[in-house]
Homo-oligomer: A and B are copies of this chain.
Amino acid sequence: MSANPMSANQPELPAALLSAFGRADSVITISQQAVVANWRYLASLSSPTTETAAVVKADAYGLGASQLAPHLVDAGCRTFFVMSLDEAITLRGALNDSGHDANGHDTSRHDTSGHDKHAVLILGGCHRGQEDEMLAHDITPVINTSEQAERLGKVARERGMTIPVALHIDTGMSRLGLDTQETARLAKQVTEKSPILDGLSPRWLMSHLRAGEDDADPANEAQLHAFTTLRTAFPGIAGSLANSGGTLRGPDFHFDMTRPGIALYGLHPAGMGMSGQQAEQAGRLIPAIRWDARILQIRAAKAGDAVGYNGTHVLVRDSRIATIGVGYADGYMRALGNRAIVVIAGHEAPVIGRVSMDSITVDVTDIPATTLQTASTATVLGDGYNLARMADDAGTIGYEILTRLGQRPRRLYLPA
């Protein structure tokens, strides 16, 4: 681990990288060890009585929920968040399949009372018609509306069962969650043990920070205050407010459970705009991915030649251009054209011209010919060009880059 987030270690590639490419033109290397280490670091920030969950929605931010979640279980994670029922059922399958850990510890599916040991929560809630599948797979819904609460209460009573749920109240995003009026009504129903809620067992009370990564945004304190106040109306229910930003913000935000997402994958949520303390935290997070692509061709071009679609880059000198086998269809954002760099054998090379669907063109004129002769791949994301910088160059956030990595790059998982 490095104190400088800009030079944090990247996952180590196997010695014979090119053989790892096989039929593909690029390889995304994912370090399970990094994800586990990041989870442990985030857990270390909270008191022992605070649980640390893991947000693995969007296929673990593009890195593979089924591959990563079992390793988090081994590390002690018990609660997982996804978005949709589809994701939840896939994840439940992966957790059940794992069944053991590297040390032979018991990781069988059920605890002594017959329940699944690991909670899988769906942030989108349970939509009408999904109740049977949700219950069959022991998925816990995050209740965002009164309608959902009332519908699931009815299902529970009809079946003579208890359904564990999380309640999500909105404190400042106007997105998902119970609005002010619904929250007040639900609080009254909880306090008065309304028959409407009979059969529901609220386990968690949740809200979500809208700018947890931003030290300067007063919304953090306002949401913390609102959540603290609202919790008093739901006595005895565990509270959870902190995403990665809230987890890194400090214990005031942790309550009974933190829910880190992006930080698990090695990116500080503040991206490039970090305060000193945030930079120190970022240095503790280990990047979970690197991305290398085949050099498809190295060719000569003359001063005055145009490069790429619509000739947006015109060469000012006789040049050597490498065409690299990664394009926007792979998730290499088109906005990176004429902005990003790649690293070839330790040398930086600027991306020139537009990003194509399947390739990019980089100027390698300044890289020694002897180096180019033996180079077969370029690092498009990793040491020397990290995720925060790539996102900044693309005018977006690292979350979008990770979650939109394409299916075409081969995935290579390094063991935990």
Binary per-residue interface labels of chain A (145-162) against chain B in the complex, 1 for a CB within 8 Å, 0 otherwise: 100000000000000000
Bound-state CA distance A408–B403 (Å) is 11
| A172–B306 touching, CB < 8 Å | yes
Tally of A interface residues using CB under 8 Å:
83
A396 and B308 within 8 A (CB): no
With the chains together, A174 CA to B321 CA distance in Å?
A: 8
User: How far is A80 from B409 in the complex, measured between Cα atoms in Å?
Assistant: 21
**Separation of A130 and B333 alpha carbons in the complex (Å):** 28
A411–B160 alpha-carbon span in the complex (Å): 37
Asked if A260 is an interface residue, CB under 8 A from chain B, the answer is no
- Given the interface pairs A173-B307, A297-B144, A306-B172, the reply to whether A328 lies near B404 with Cβ below 8 Å is yes
Q: Which of B124, B310, B399 contacts A328 (CB 8 A)?
A: B399
Residue A84, interface by CB 8 Å: yes
Given the complex of chains A and B, what is the CA–CA distance between A92 and B212 in angstroms? 49
With A172-B306, A358-B57 known as contacts, the answer to whether A86 contacts B311 (CB < 8 A) is no
User: Would you give the shortest CB distance from A243 to chain B, in whole angstroms?
Assistant: 10
Q: Which residues of B contact A83 (CB under 8 A)?
A: 25, 325, 357-358, 408
- What are 24 A-B pairs with beta-carbon distances under 8 A? A58-B408, A59-B329, A84-B358, A145-B299, A172-B305, A172-B306, A173-B308, A174-B299, A174-B305, A174-B321, A175-B307, A175-B323, A175-B353, A176-B323, A179-B301, A182-B299, A210-B309, A210-B310, A210-B311, A211-B309, A328-B400, A334-B397, A404-B406, A407-B407
Q: CB < 8 Å: which of B23, B125, B174 contacts A307?
A: B174
State in angstroms the CA–CA spacing of A371 and B262 once bound together.
Answer: 38
Q: Per a CB cutoff under 8 Å, which of B306, B315, B357 touches A210?
A: B306
The digit string for A202-223, where 1 denotes a CB below 8 A from any CB of B, is 0000000011001001010000
Does A49 make an interface contact (CB < 8 A)? no
Return the chain B residue nearest A176 by Cβ.
B323
**In the assembled complex, how far is the CB of residue A215 from the closest CB belonging to chain B, in whole angstroms?**
13
CB proximity of A45 to chain B, nearest CB, Å: 22
A339 CB–B CB distance under 8 Å: no
Contact assessment for A23 and B84 in the assembled complex, using a CB-CB cutoff below 8 Å: yes
Query: Would A57 and B325 be within 8 Å (CB), given that A297-B145, A306-B174 are in contact?
Result: no
Contact between A396 and B174, CB atoms less than 8 A apart: no
Taking a contact as CB atoms under 8 Å apart, the answer to whether B124 and A300 are in contact is no
Determine the distance from Cα of A224 to Cα of B386 in the docked complex, in whole angstroms.
41
User: Which B residue sits closest to A21, measured CB to CB?
Assistant: B127
- Contact of A98 with B by CB under 8 A: no
Chain B residue numbers with a CB within 8 Å of A86 are: 22-25, 408, 410
- Smallest CB separation, A185 vs chain B (Å): 12
The chain B residue sitting closest to A62, CB to CB, is B329
Cβ–Cβ < 8 Å partners of A309 in chain B: 173, 210-211
Nearest B residue to A26 by beta-carbon distance?
B84
Complex Cα gap A327–B83 (Å):
11
| B296 engages A124 (CB within 8 Å) | yes
- When the two chains form the complex, which single residue of B25, B89, B310 contacts A211, counting CB atoms closer than 8 Å? B310
What is the chain B residue whose CB lies nearest that of A145?
A: B297
The verdict on A364 contacting chain B, using a C-beta distance below 8 Å, is no
Chain B residues whose CB sits within 8 angstroms of the CB of A175 once the complex forms: 307-308, 321, 323, 353, 356, 359, 361
Closest Cβ–Cβ distance, residue A106 to chain B (whole Å): 30
CB distance from A224 to the nearest CB of B (A): 15
Q: Are A59 and B408 in contact (CB under 8 A)?
A: yes
| Cβ–Cβ contact B356 & A311, under 8 A | no
Shortest CB-to-CB span from A54 to chain B, Å, is 15
Can you list the 7 inter-chain pairs with the closest CB atoms, starting with the nearest? A58-B329, A23-B86, A329-B403, A23-B85, A83-B358, A174-B307, A174-B301
